[in-house]
């Protein structure tokens, strides 16, 4: 273990060419002749110093006016001080760093960083206790020394004695005071800030180490609640997290009512407002809504915790708030399925996660619909006509229990009718920006480069014919043609296809429009996929390349659910 001292050297005080002296009550030996000497001698009684790091200003490096040493030669303030130190610390090495008191703020910061480098180089990975003398220097120097001390503490050094030589000029005496409690206030402030920003209590544990048995009951309760919260948010166990929120609410509430003259209570009372402000949405009301908890995690950058809570809680939350419902028959069906779950999970979470449809209804419907679209497009090429009723009747036989009706297929009908019109009147393709072509705008855009190479309508129709006969595939039919309502849902909310099939199979019902529910479910499954990517440390990327995009989708999902609840309560 190494002990080092950091100080800013004061100039030597003289009176008619004689060095001023002072007696410090708690410093042994002769009177001191420099301000810093008192602190160095006080410290050396109890700690074997390995090195002294000294800031020396331009003034300190200049000669003492009117003074000469015993050898008749002048001395700088620095030389005189070093000679005094060697009288009682003959073996201690001193490192002097030149400081420009006339430099800019940027120069001062560079000085702090450079001194820190020299101290860290000396430490060289060993355990070092850093002692600090705040006596010397100009008025702003104390702040600089505290900043440097904090910087070195963050680099791994232990802060030991923080000293100040309190000189009483009238009596030419003084006392070297230990003012660690003043420095420790930085630790307390940092601890509260750490808890507010990162949900950690490490810095607070350091500050209150050795003091816990002397603290008041309300402050002890508050610190325990903060520690419990810090642990629970790391683990993100839902029940434990909810209890920790309630415990923190109670502890803040009780401490606010507490009146005390104890210094630790007074200090925390000045800082607790920061906790109350940042945790307001979480602890203002004791019984928290799950959406509020998830939103607070998002707002405070606890993204992994928000992911976990969103994935685990949203299905059950939808059920608790009657967005998901069940008839008696549906409840019996789901009970049979959840009865197989050895983990005993909530029925709604189990429904979203593990229950599989009996048949892949939507996949079959998608395939059948795509084949029908392709066949109908070819029919239009051949006959230049389109009969919607005939097409619907044929298709509905193949996709039962789903079905298309005329209301569902308005847009699709318009697309087919536009194709039929084009094959009757190829000149419609001459103006590719014409509004008449809007129903098949995606196809026009996809073929625009090929169209531009041909200027005649029938030539462009040939390009369109080739696309419909050869390039259009079952996989892309939904991209270019709009099916019925259920086809739109599959296209717009692909992640929710499985839950929609369960809805069709009468495993459960919803009390809101189907499209609204599937919009929420689609976001849920996208978020769940992202959670699985991170939880299982997959090497491939998920959908979301940035945290901000993921946060945005989660907030959108929360807003949709909140809007439904507000609407249902009107």
Asked whether the predicted pLDDT for residue 447 surpasses 90, the reply is yes
Asked if residue 269 has pLDDT above 80, the reply is yes
User: Across the chain, what does the average pLDDT equal?
Assistant: 88
Q: Is pLDDT above 90 for 168?
A: no
pLDDT of residue 341: 64
Note the pLDDT of residue 383.
84
pLDDT band at 403 (very low <50, low <70, confident <90, very high): confident
- Dist CA 386 CA 13 (whole Å): 107
Long-range contact set of residues 555-562: C-beta below 8 Å, sequence gap at least 24: 555/295, 555/298, 556/523, 557/310, 557/314, 557/520, 557/523, 557/524, 557/527, 558/291, 558/294, 558/295, 558/298, 560/516, 560/519, 560/520, 560/523, 561/291, 561/314, 561/317, 561/318, 561/323, 561/520, 562/291
**Share of residues in the chain with pLDDT > 90 (%):** 45
Cα dihedral sign for 283, 285, 287, 293?
Answer: negative
User: In this model, does residue 252 exceed pLDDT 90?
Assistant: yes
The mean pLDDT value for 383-408 works out to: 80
In which band, very low, low, confident or very high, does the pLDDT at 553 lie, cut at 50, 70 and 90? very high
- Number of helices (H), then strands (E), in the chain: 25, 13
For residue 29, give the nearest of 87, 79, 91, 90 by alpha carbon. 87
* Of residues 390, 469, 482, the one with CA closest to residue 442: 482
pLDDT band, residue 370 (cuts 50/70/90): confident
* Domain edges within the chain: 2-177, 185-288, 304-355+507-568, 361-491
Tell me the pLDDT tens digit for each residue of 148-166: 998 898 888 999 999 999 8
Output the pLDDT for position 70: 83
In whole angstroms, give the CA distance from residue 230 to residue 247.
12
Per mean pLDDT, which range of 20-34, 123-137, 234-248, 323-337 is the poorest? Answer: 323-337
For the cut 90, the answer to whether the pLDDT of residue 225 exceeds it is yes
Choice between 541 and 153, residue whose per-residue pLDDT is larger: 153
Backbone region of residue 199 per phi and psi (left: phi > 0; alpha: psi in -120 to 50; beta: other values): left
Report the pLDDT value the prediction gives residue 366, as an integer from 0 to 100.
Answer: 81
Q: Which of 73-77, 329-333, 373-377, 434-438 has the lowest mean pLDDT?
A: 329-333
Torsion of CA 510, 513, 515, 521, to 10 degrees: -30
Among the ranges 257-261, 404-408, 491-495, which has the highest mean pLDDT value? Answer: 257-261
The whole-number average pLDDT for the span 225-252 is: 90
Q: Is the pLDDT of residue 444 over 90?
A: yes
- pLDDT digits 0-9 by tens, 409-427: 888 889 999 999 999 999 9
Tell me the per-residue pLDDT of 558-569, one tens digit each, with 9 for 90 and over: 999 999 888 877
Mean pLDDT of 124-151: 87
pLDDT at 339 over 80: no
Least confident of 1-10, 305-314, 336-345, 397-406: 336-345
pLDDT in tens, 13-22: 888 778 888 8
Residue 539's pLDDT band (boundaries 50, 70, 90)?
Answer: low
Say whether the peptide bond before residue 401 is cis (omega within 30 degrees of 0): yes
pLDDT tier for residue 519 given thresholds of 50, 70 and 90: very high
Once rounded to an integer, what is the mean pLDDT over residues 432-455? 93
Q: Which residues pair with 510 in a beta bridge?
A: 324
Q: What is the pLDDT of residue 535?
A: 61
Percentage of residues in the chain having pLDDT higher than 70 = 96
SS3 163: strand
**Has residue 10 got a pLDDT over 80?**
yes
* pLDDT attached to residue 536: 55
Residue 481 CB: number of other CB atoms within 10 A? 26
Residues in CB range of 352: below 8 A, 6 or more apart:
315, 499, 521, 524
**Calpha distance 136→9 (Å, rounded):** 5
pLDDT at position 343, please? 63
pLDDT for res 490: 77
- State the DSSP H helix or E strand holding residue 486, giving kind and residue range, or none if neither: helix 485-492
How large is the average pLDDT for residues 162-188? 84
Average pLDDT, stretch 440-468? 93
The third-level CATH classification (topology) of the domain covering 2-177 is Rossmann fold (3.40.50)
Partner residues linked to 14 by β-bridges: 19
């Amino acid at each position: 273990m190494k002990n080092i001292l950091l100080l800013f050297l004061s100039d030597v005080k003289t009176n008619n060419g004689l060095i001023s002296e002072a007696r410090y009550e708690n410093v042994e030996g002769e009177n001191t002749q420099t301000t810093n000497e008192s602190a160095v001698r006080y410290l050396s009684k109890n700690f074997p110093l390995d090195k002294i790091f000294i800031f020396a200003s331009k003034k300190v490096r200049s000669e003492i006016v009117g003074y000469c040493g015993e050898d008749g030669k002048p001395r700088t303030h620095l030389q005189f001080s070093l000679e005094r130190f060697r009288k009682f610390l003959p073996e201690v090495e001193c490192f002097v760093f030149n400081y420009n008191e006339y430099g800019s703020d940027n120069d001062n910061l560079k000085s702090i960083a450079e001194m820190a480098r020299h101290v860290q180089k000396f430490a060289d990975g060993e355990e070092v206790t850093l002692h600090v003398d705040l006596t010397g220097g100009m008025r702003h120097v104390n702040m600089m020394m505290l900043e440097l001390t904090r910087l070195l503490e963050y680099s791994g050094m232990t802060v030991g004695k923080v000293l100040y030589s309190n000189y009483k000029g009238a009596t030419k005496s003084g006392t070297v005071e230990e003012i660690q409690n003043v420095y420790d206030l930085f630790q307390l402030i940092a601890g509260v800030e750490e808890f507010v920003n990162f949900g950690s209590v490490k810095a607070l544990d350091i500050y209150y180490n050795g003091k816990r048995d002397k603290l008041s009951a309300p402050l002890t309760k508050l610190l325990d609640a903060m520690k419990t919260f810090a642990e629970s948010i790391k683990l993100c166990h839902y029940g434990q997290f909810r209890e920790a929120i309630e415990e923190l609410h109670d502890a803040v509430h009780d401490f606010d009512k507490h009146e005390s003259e104890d210094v630790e209570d007074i200090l925390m009372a000045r800082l607790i407002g920061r906790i109350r402000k940042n945790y307001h949405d979480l602890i203002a009301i004791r019984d928290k809504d799950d959406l509020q908890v998830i939103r607070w995690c998002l707002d405070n950058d606890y993204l992994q915790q928000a992911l976990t809570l969103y994935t685990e809680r949203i299905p059950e939350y939808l059920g608790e708030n009657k967005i998901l419902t069940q008839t008696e028959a549906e409840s019996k069906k789901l009970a049979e399925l959840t009865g197989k779950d050895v983990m005993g999970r909530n029925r709604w979470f189990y429904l979203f996660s593990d229950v599989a449809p009996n048949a892949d209804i939507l996949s079959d419907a998608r395939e059948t619909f795509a084949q029908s679209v392709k066949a109908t497009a070819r029919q239009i090429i051949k006959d230049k006509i389109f009969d919607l009723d005939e097409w619907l009747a044929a298709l509905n036989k193949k996709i039962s229990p789903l079905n298309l009706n005329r209301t569902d297929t308005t847009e699709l009908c318009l697309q087919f009718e536009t194709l039929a019109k084009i094959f009757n009147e190829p000149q419609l393709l001459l103006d590719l920006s014409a509004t008449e072509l809007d129903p098949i705008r995606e196809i026009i855009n996809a073929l625009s480069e090929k169209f531009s190479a041909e200027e005649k309508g029938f030539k462009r129709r040939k390009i369109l014919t080739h696309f419909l006969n050869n390039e259009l595939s079952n996989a892309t039919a939904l991209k270019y043609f709009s099916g019925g309502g259920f086809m739109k849902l599959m296209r717009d909310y692909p992640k929710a296809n499985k839950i929609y099939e369960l809805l069709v199979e009468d495993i459960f019902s919803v009390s809101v429009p189907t499209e609204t529910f599937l919009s929420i479910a689609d976001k849920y499954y996208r978020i769940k996929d992202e959670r699985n990517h991170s939880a299982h440390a997959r090497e491939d990327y998920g959908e979301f390349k940035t945290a901000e995009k993921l946060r945005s989708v989660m907030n959108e999902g929360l807003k949709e659910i909140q809007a439904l609840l507000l609407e249902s309560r009107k």
